[in-house]
Structures are given as C-alpha cells and as structure tokens.
Amino acid sequence: MNNHNLKEYWAINIRYVLILISIWFVVSYGFGILLAPTLNNIQIGGFKLGFWFAQQGSIYVFVILIFVYVYLMNKLDIRFGVQEVEKGP
C-alpha cells in the first residue's frame, strides 16, 4: 500500500461523505423545513408532503444514507486493501 493509493482512498471517501451529506441536507433542511410550505400543497394519502418529510420521511432517509455509506466504504476498504483483518474469536 503506497501513499499515493491512500490519498486516493481518502479522496474517494471525502467525495462519498460530501454527496451523502448533501442528500441529508436537502431532505431534512430542504424538503422538511425550507421547502415545506411549498411541498405542503402536494398531498399523498393523508399526508401533506412537507409535513411528512419533516416528521417521517427525513428519518427514513437518514437510515438509508448510513447503510449506503457502510456499503460503499466496505467495498472501498477492500478495493484499496485497507480492510481490517478478521480477529479470532
């Protein structure tokens, strides 16, 4: 593992984090707060959309974002050979 590769690993990691944090921001602060009054004009079932994002949707998205990050990083760790060695029991 040379330094150049590690730098690339870190750069990709930062890129993942930035993309996922942007989604995090758009969904919670965007849909749930700033755009909520506008989105409330759309109703799906009994939910006004802005209200739904603020009290339900954003939380589901948070969970999904973490698992996407876990998946991406586990793959990235293996690709760059920085994954941890399995310890004995």
Least distance in angstroms from the C-beta of 70 to other proteins: 5
Helix or strand holding residue 63 (H, E): helix 58-79
CA–CA distance, 16 with 65 (Å, rounded to integer): 11
Tokens (6 digits) for 68: 């996407």
Backbone angles phi, psi at 43, to 5 degrees: -120, 130
For the segment 32-71, give every residue that binds other proteins (CB under 8 A). Answer: 32-34, 36-37, 40, 44-48, 51-52, 54-56, 58-60, 62-63, 65-67, 69-70
Q: List the one residue from 22, 38, 75, 83 that touches other proteins (CB under 8 A).
A: 83
Tokens (6 digits) for 81: 């050979």
Q: Does 26 bind other proteins (CB under 8 A)?
A: no
CA–CA distance, 12 with 73 (Å, rounded to integer): 9
Residues in touch with other proteins (CB under 8 A): 1, 6, 9-10, 13-14, 17, 20-21, 24, 28-29, 32-34, 36-37, 40, 44-48, 51-52, 54-56, 58-60, 62-63, 65-67, 69-70, 73-74, 77, 82-85, 87
